[in-house]
Structure formats: structure tokens, C-alpha cells
Amino acid sequence: ERRGLVSGDIVKLMFDIQVPDDPELGDCSSERMWVIVHERSGPYYIGELNNIPACADEQEHLAVGDRVVFLPEHVISIYSRGGAEVTVDDEGLA
């Protein structure tokens, strides 16, 4: 399913975010966030971040509305048009 995304689909991606000098998180934190797919360019999808990162106060490099470029294998979940979240496995199948 993740290779057949179209404009308007909403997908969940895992982001590794650098948060230097954070005693709780160390130097890196991972966060799952939703991205709205806008287009495809070759093997890449181009979308828009649809979450406010939890570490928004600690960093300035990622914000809601930012452009995100990703590959199908980066998709960990798809919010289906029917309203249910579909988790994808390593094969990209629901």
C-alpha cells in the first residue's frame, strides 16, 4: 500500500530529531508524526508535516507545515480514507 500513495493520503513517519544537551532525551529523540502526501517525484513522496513536534521548543528545524520528502519504506502507518489507521509491515502490505 505504501507504494501506491496519492495526493491527500495521510501517513505516519518516524523522525529522528537531534536535541543536543537534553538530559532526558540525550542527543536524539524519535517521534512519530503525520504527513499529508502532496505529490510523487520518481521514487520520492513530497508531503507536509501535519503535527507540531513535541520537541518544538528545543529545536528550530522542524515545524508543522514543513515540506517533507520521504520514500515508501519510511511509512509506518497509513490513515485510510475509511477513517481507520492501517499499520504496514516490512513488506509494505497492510
Domain segments of the chain as ranges: 2-87
15 forms bridges with which residues in the sheet? 31
pLDDT digits 0-9 by tens, 19-78: 666 666 566 678 899 999 999 999 999 999 998 887 665 567 788 999 999 999 999 999
pLDDT for 92 equals 45
Q: Which of 14, 4, 11 is nearest to 79 (CA)?
A: 11
Is the pLDDT at 94 greater than 90, yes or no? no
Q: How far apart are CA 53 and CA 2, in angstroms?
A: 23
Backbone angles phi, psi at 58, to 5 degrees: -95, -10
Confidence of residue 93 (pLDDT cuts 50, 70, 90): very low
Residues 6 or more apart in contact with residue 44 via CB below 8 angstroms: 69, 70, 71
3-state helix, strand, coil in the chain (%, to 5): 5, 50, 45
DSSP state of 83: S
What would the mean pLDDT of 79-89 be, rounded to a whole number?
66
pLDDT for 52 equals 85
Instruction: Write the DSSP string, 48-60.
Output: EE-S--TTTTT-S
pLDDT for 57 equals 59
Cell numbers standing for residue 90:
516490512
pLDDT for 26 equals 62
pTM here? Answer: 0.77
